[in-house]
């Protein structure tokens, strides 16, 4: 009935779902779970504040090199939404760039709603959200750099599915003296954003945005499930290493069923 090799994945999903359900229930009952500081998200306020002081824009760049929004793009839009709300609160100049048509449509709606939600719908302009480059990173990168230099940005947020153009964008922002926040799970790009950006949101930190900002029980419950999932993976890795070292392949066979 199940495809070969998917039994272990299904079992993991069921366990993960149960942990998430228990986590959400416990949060709704009022249990408090401390979430460690995410400097990358705290820096959004600082970056928008700097943009307000200097009278120069805050630029959010959402990279989408494929014809559909993947998980990174959705998570990145969540961070951009938070940045837009902060920009609306401080009345800072805000520009959002999308390289994918889907993310452009969602971003437009999100930024408009963010400004309306802060009670400042009149500050929203249609040219705040721009579609640049389509799915080609080689077209997108130089165009965004040109726009950064034209607008003389004070701060920027690089997020979504970051590709090789990340370093180019980050260096362009650095040459303008902008505060830069890089947010991605792409392991190939992590060294570049760590080297070029002032603040980073790496891997799972990108997905903790909703829980970190809103602290609502459901988001925090799922964050708890993530942490338990990591513990489970660590246990499986350690047991697997020990079994493999001492000649047992049972765990591998079990996971391949």
Partner 1 sequence: MRKEVPLIVTFIAGAGIMAGFFLQAPLVKVSLSANLLNWAVIISAFALALGAGNLTRLHGLNLSRRGKNWALSGLLLLGLWGFFLLGLVKGPTYSSYTYIFNAVLVPGSATVMALNGFYIISACYRTFRMRSWQATLMVLTAVVVALGRVGIGQAMWPALGPISDWINRYPNASAMRGIVIGAALGTVSLGIRVILGIERGHLGAEGG
Near partner 1 in 105-124, by CB under 8 A: 105-110, 112-114, 117
Q: In whole angstroms, how far apart are CA 206 and each of 62, 173, 184, 233, 253?
A: 13, 21, 7, 20, 33
Phi, psi (5° rounding) for residue 119?
80, 20
Q: Is residue 2 a contact point for partner 1 (CB under 8 A)?
A: yes
Cβ-based nearer residue to partner 1, 53 or 174: 174
Q: Is 95 helix (H, G, I), strand (E, B) or coil?
A: strand
Q: Which stretch binds partner 1 (CB under 8 A): 53-61, 88-96, 152-160, 182-190?
A: 182-190
Which residues, 6 or more positions from 252, have their beta carbon under 8 angstroms from its beta carbon? 240, 244
Q: Which stretch binds partner 1 (CB under 8 A): 42-50, 88-96, 198-206, 243-251?
A: 198-206
Site string for partner 1, 117-156 (x = CB under 8 A): x--------xx-xxxx-x-x-xx-xx-------x------
Cβ-based nearer residue to partner 1, 63 or 108: 108
Identify the CA nearest to 38 among candidates 69, 98, 82: 82
Q: Is residue 199 a contact point for partner 1 (CB under 8 A)?
A: no
CA 140 to chain centre: 19
Member of 185, 199, 212, 220 binding partner 1 (CB under 8 A): 185
Closest approach, Cβ 33 to partner 1, in A, equals 15
Cβ-based nearer residue to partner 1, 98 or 178: 98
Closest approach, Cβ 250 to partner 1, in A, equals 22
Distance CA(92)–CA(44), nearest Å, equals: 12
Q: Is residue 190 a contact point for partner 1 (CB under 8 A)?
A: yes
Q: Is residue 28 a contact point for partner 1 (CB under 8 A)?
A: no
Hey, which bits of 107-234 come out as E strands? 129-131, 155-160, 179-184, 199-202
Identify the CA nearest to 63 among candidates 54, 72, 50, 51: 72
Member of 65, 88, 95, 104 binding partner 1 (CB under 8 A): 104
Identify the CA nearest to 156 among candidates 185, 136, 179: 179
Closest approach, Cβ 147 to partner 1, in A, equals 11
Q: Which stretch binds partner 1 (CB under 8 A): 35-43, 88-96, 102-110, 239-247?
A: 102-110
Torsion angle, alpha carbons of 6, 10, 13, 18, to 10: -170
- β-bridge pairing 58-63 and 155-160: parallel
* Count of chain residues binding partner 1 (CB under 8 A): 76
Closest approach, Cβ 52 to partner 1, in A, equals 21
Q: Is residue 244 a contact point for partner 1 (CB under 8 A)?
A: no
């Amino acid at each position: 009935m199940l495809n070969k090799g998917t039994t272990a994945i299904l079992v993991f999903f069921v366990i993960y779902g149960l942990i998430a359900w228990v986590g959400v229930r416990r949060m709704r009952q009022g249990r408090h779970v401390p979430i460690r500081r995410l400097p990358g998200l705290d820096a959004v306020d600082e970056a928008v504040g700097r943009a307000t002081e200097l009278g120069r824009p805050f630029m959010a760049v959402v990279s989408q090199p494929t014809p559909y929004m993947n998980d990174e793009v959705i998570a990145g839009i969540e961070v951009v939404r938070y940045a837009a709300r902060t920009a609306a609160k401080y009345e800072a100049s805000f520009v959002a760039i999308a390289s994918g048509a889907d993310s452009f449509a969602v971003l437009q709606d999100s930024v408009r709603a963010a400004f309306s939600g802060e009670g400042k719908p009149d500050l929203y302009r249609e040219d705040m959200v721009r579609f640049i480059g389509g799915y080609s990173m080689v077209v997108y990168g130089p165009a965004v750099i040109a726009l950064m230099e034209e607008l003389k940005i004070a701060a920027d947020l690089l997020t979504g599915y970051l590709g090789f153009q990340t370093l180019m964008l980050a260096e362009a922002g650095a040459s303008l003296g902008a505060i830069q926040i890089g947010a991605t799970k792409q392991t190939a790009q992590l060294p570049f954003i760590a080297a070029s950006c002032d603040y980073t949101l790496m891997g799972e930190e990108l997905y903790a945005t909703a829980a970190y900002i809103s602290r609502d029980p459901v988001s925090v419950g799922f964050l708890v499930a993530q942490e338990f999932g990591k513990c489970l993976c660590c246990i499986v890795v350690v047991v697997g290493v020990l079994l493999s070292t001492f000649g047992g392949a049972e765990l591998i066979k079990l996971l391949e069923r």
